[in-house]
Amino acid sequence: MKLLCLNPGSGTLRYRVVETERCESDLPSPDLERGMVDRIKGKEKVAEEAIKLFRRIGNDSLDAVAIRFVHGGPFWKQRSREIDANVLQSLEEVRHLAPLHVPTAIAVAKAIRSETGLKVHAVFDTAFHRTLPEHVWRYPLPHDIGERYRRIGFHGLAHESVWGAWDRESSKVLSLHFGGGASACAILDGKSVWTTMGLTPLDGLMMSSRSGSLDPALVLALLRDGRSIDEVDKMLNRDSGLLGVSGISDDTRDLLPAAATGNSRAELALQMYSARVHECIGAGIAVLGGCDALLLSGALVKESAEFRRRLLGDLQCFGIKLDANRNDRDDELQQPTLLSADDARMPVAFVPAEEELQMARQVVASQAPADVTR
């Protein structure tokens, strides 16, 4: 099956055409066509780009389309599901739980469905985290709040694909993904056992325009001080993180040079981002009881040696030591690349997050009769 995988993130639209019969093979990339529309915001624009792409690739050369849904709503434990009007309605109901993602994915789904009679699959970024143990997924709230308000976890496509591309002999893996959103995932023998995002992808690490974790009473204080729910939602999701602190940009391609030329708010934003990553590396290692490999992925670490140094350069207490020659390169990392020194106690590597390939795998897996997530 020739599947067009569309991945609308918080800052980009990535796409890839995958021949699904080959997506599990270890042969050189089963790529037919792939790419990214960068620096794109707003659901209408993303949907327009998706349609342009679909028309260019051509209805006749495709068998189906898959769209990444960051929040799966009632389907969050499933790998994927064919979209129909009922599925779309259920996903509409969780648009507020991932406001940077779900409304856009819905707009893309509607646009593609109005263009073609091909099957369109929603692929869920949450399924990998269905193995979180209860003491991790449950919040310390009154017990009868139940499962509705629980940790779900996101970036599952990225974390699972990174784990799958790494040496599967490693039992304890800490995966750190840095895109517009950022999260960590502790993986024990291939299963997600802890992750920093929660009920929504606003939780955990500081991000490009998202605050990450805060004192929950701060949200109450903002509301009590007269801001509306929508204003607070916008502040936390769109006006915070690197953008809010720096006041310049949500993009490390702007902030790193600004910090280098003395912009103190750009420097502060980058320091705060790294400090939260340091805290979560400590937490992840504690959760796993050690760590056989620390794996980095995502656009922010892919081509910036300096950013990787900021994140990991000062963590020798954990046995983390970047090798200057391996890390300090100007080119974009494309393949799994060891970054740590030979005498480091903990291997550190960059591993590309093949989210679109993982989407194709999830569509295939959920069509198999034995699929456990159905």
Ligand X SMILES: Nc1ncnc2c1ncn2[C@@H]1O[C@H](COP(=O)(O)OP(=O)(O)O)[C@@H](O)[C@H]1O
Ligand Y SMILES: CC(=O)OP(=O)(O)O
Binding of ligand Y by 70 (CB under 6 A): yes
Question: Mutual orientation of helices 264-288 and 252-260 as an angle, nearest 10°?
Answer: 120
CB of 230 to ligand Y, least distance (A): 20
Q: How far apart are CA 163 and CA 166, in angstroms?
A: 5
Q: Cα(360)–Cα(337) distance, rounded to whole angstroms?
A: 24
Does 179 contact Mg ion by CB under 5 A? yes
Find the binding residues for ligand Y in span 149-188 (CB under 6 A).
154-155, 179-181
Count residues contacting ligand Y (CB under 6 A)? Answer: 10
Is 352 one of the binding residues for Mg ion (CB under 5 A)? no
User: With contact defined as beta carbons under 8 Å apart, do 194 and 186 qualify?
Assistant: yes
For 256-267, the DSSP string reads HHHHHTT-HHHH
Q: Does 299 bind ligand X (CB under 6 A)?
A: yes
Residues in the chain: 374
Q: What are phi and psi of 84, to 5 degrees?
A: -135, -175
Token pair 């209860």: residue: 134
- The smaller minimum CB distance to ligand Y, of residues 9 and 284, is found at 9
Residue 201 binds which of Mg ion, ligand X, ligand Y, none (CB < 5-8 A, kind-dependent): ligand Y
Is 155 annotated as a binding-site member? no
| Shortest separation between residue 335's beta carbon and ligand Y, angstroms | 21
Would you say 33 or 231 has its CB closer to ligand X? Answer: 33
- Residues 115-144 vs ligand Y: string with x where CB under 6 A? ----------x-------------------
Secondary structure class of 20 (helix, strand, coil)? helix
Of residues 169-208, those binding ligand X (CB under 6 A): 179-181, 208
250 is catalytic: no
| Cβ-based nearer residue to Mg ion, 161 or 211 | 161
- Alpha carbons within 13 angstroms on the beta-carbon side of residue 74 total 8
Task: Tell me which of 125, 239, 343, 371 is the catalytic residue.
Answer: 125
H-helix segments, the chain: 43-57, 85-92, 102-115, 134-137, 156-165, 216-224, 229-238, 241-246, 252-260, 264-288, 299-302, 305-312, 324-327, 355-367
Q: Which of 104, 195, 200, 252 binds ligand X (CB under 6 A)?
A: 252
**Binding positions for substrate:** 68
**Binding positions for ATP:** 177-181, 251-253
Residues at the interface with ligand X (CB under 6 A): 9-12, 38, 179-181, 208, 250-253, 298-300, 303
Residues known to be catalytic: 125
